[in-house]
């Protein structure tokens, strides 16, 4: 991956994190990694945890960011979410998987995307 693409992705993740923080969420983890993969953002707010996959696009030439999260990626994110919760050892009443699409015109978050 080129440095430009890495910077673009980080910039998108930062924009999404700020949006969540503006809505009362706290960023618990950024780019949380295990041998199985990575979760871009893990956020918390009053008894809930959100696992967010961030897709940053400069155009829709190859589809929207939301379209880039297929069933395989969804399955992997669910597995990573379960692994994260198991390492924390505490009960969380609400767990949600969101997809955020960052484009030149703004940020769109699809809550409970899957």
Residue-level pLDDT at 60: 67
- Taking only the tens of pLDDT, the chain with its 114 residues reads 688 777 777 889 999 999 999 999 999 999 999 999 999 999 999 999 999 999 987 766 776 766 789 999 999 999 999 999 999 887 889 999 999 999 888 999 999 999
Give 111: exposed, middle or buried? Use CB within 10 Å, 0-12, 13-18, 19+.
exposed
> Are 12 and 20 in contact, with CB atoms under 8 Å apart?
no
pTM, entire model: 0.89
With H, G, I as helix, E, B as strand and everything else as coil, classify residue 79.
helix
Residue-level pLDDT at 98: 98
Residue-level pLDDT at 22: 98
In the chain, the DSSP E strands lie at 26-34, 37-45, 48-56, 94-103, 106-110
Q: Which two tokens mark 84? A: 């994260």
Q: For the domain covering 3-110, report its CATH number.
A: 3.40.1350.10
Residue-level pLDDT at 67: 78
> Are 25 and 45 in contact, with CB atoms under 8 Å apart?
yes
> Are 113 and 95 in contact, with CB atoms under 8 Å apart?
no
Q: Which two tokens mark 67? A: 């379209």
């Amino acid at each position: 991956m080129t440095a430009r693409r890495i910077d673009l992705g980080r910039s998108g993740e930062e924009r999404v994190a700020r949006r969540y923080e503006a809505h009362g969420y706290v960023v618990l983890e950024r780019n949380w990694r295990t041998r199985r993969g990575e979760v871009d953002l893990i956020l918390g707010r009053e008894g809930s945890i959100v696992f967010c996959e961030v897709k940053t696009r400069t155009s829709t030439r190859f589809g929207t960011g939301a379209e880039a999260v297929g069933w395989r990626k969804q399955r992997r994110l669910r597995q990573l979410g379960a692994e994260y919760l198991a390492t924390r050892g505490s009960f969380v009443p609400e767990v949600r998987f969101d997809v955020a699409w960052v484009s030149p015109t703004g940020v769109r978050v699809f809550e409970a995307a899957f």
